Every structure is written in structure tokens, then in C-alpha cells.
């Protein structure tokens, strides 16, 4: 197997993920409650949806959580902390819709802008390092 990247390049990837992880904590103003993969999945997929999603769909966003009941607890925490909002579904009275709160939308917009900056900077470092010619 040929390796594509050298140790410097791999370390830069880890440095970038560290910087993004620290920034993720800043999104929540230091509240470590949200420093979990389940919340990453929930918030980033709500952001990608660009609008309200059915609550049952949002439960499935948290791919590492197999129980709908457990996923519901994560959603309840996010609702209680004001990170997401719940509303009636005008298309189906039996379901509810979830969306990011306006404040969370703004924080995530800024987070992604900064994450892309980190990505671009890391890419420059990775591109400037020589790739190995080691075969395993």
C-alpha cells in the first residue's frame, strides 16, 4: 500500500481538527454539553437542511444514537437551552418541526466560515509539504 501523505501532513490534519473542535466549543459559549458527536450530527444536519425539518427526521440525524427515545433526550436538551426551536407542522398536524434558533443559525454560519478558513490554511501547509514515497 502506498502512503499518500507524510507525518507533517497528517499532523496538520489533526491540528486543524483540534482548532475546529475548540471553535465548536466557542459556538456554545463553553457549554460542554454540546461537545458530543450526537449534537454535531444534529446541529450540522439542521444547518444543512436550511429550514425546518420533521422531528422524526431530526431524531435520525444522530446516527450514533440507535434509540429514538435517547435521541429525543438530546433534542429536548437542545430545546431547553434554546439552540433549536419546535413548531407545529402546517402540512401535518400529527408531526412537529424543528429548526435552529436564529442565534444558533448565526453562530453556526460564523463557525463554518472559520472552519473553512482553517481548512484552507491547513491545505496550504499540506500542499507545501512533500509527499512520501514509502510503500507498505
Phi then psi dihedrals of residue 38, to 5 deg: -60, -40
User: How many domains does one find in the chain?
Assistant: 1
For residue 88, being part of any structural domain is answered with yes
pLDDT tens digits, one per residue of 29-79 = 888 999 999 999 999 999 999 999 999 999 999 999 999 999 999 999 999
**Domain range for 11:** 7-128
Is residue 124 classed exposed, middle or buried when 0-12, 13-18 and 19+ CB atoms within 10 A define those classes?
A: exposed
Entry pTM = 0.87
pLDDT band for position 132 (cuts 50, 70, 90)? low
For residue 136, being part of any structural domain is answered with no
For residue 133, being part of any structural domain is answered with no
For residue 2, being part of any structural domain is answered with no
Q: What is the Cα–Cα distance from 106 to 102, expressed in whole angstroms?
A: 6
Residue 88, CA distances (Å) to 47, 72, 78, 99, 118 in order: 19, 17, 17, 11, 38
Amino acid at each position: 500500500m502506498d502512503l499518500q501523505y507524510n507525518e507533517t501532513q497528517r499532523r496538520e490534519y489533526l491540528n486543524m481538527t483540534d482548532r475546529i473542535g475548540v471553535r465548536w466549543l466557542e459556538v456554545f459559549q463553553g457549554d460542554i454539553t454540546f461537545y458530543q458527536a450526537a449534537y454535531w450530527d444534529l446541529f450540522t444536519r439542521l444547518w444543512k437542511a436550511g429550514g425546518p425539518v420533521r422531528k422524526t427526521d431530526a431524531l435520525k440525524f444522530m446516527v450514533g444514537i440507535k434509540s429514538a427515545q435517547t435521541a429525543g433526550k438530546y433534542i429536548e436538551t437542545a430545546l431547553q437551552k434554546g439552540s433549536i426551536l419546535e413548531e407545529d407542522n402546517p402540512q401535518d398536524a400529527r408531526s412537529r418541526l424543528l429548526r435552529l434558533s436564529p442565534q444558533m443559525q448565526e453562530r453556526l454560519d460564523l463557525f463554518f466560515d472559520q472552519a473553512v478558513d482553517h481548512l484552507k490554511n491547513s491545505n496550504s501547509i499540506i500542499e507545501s509539504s512533500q509527499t512520501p514515497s514509502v510503500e507498505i
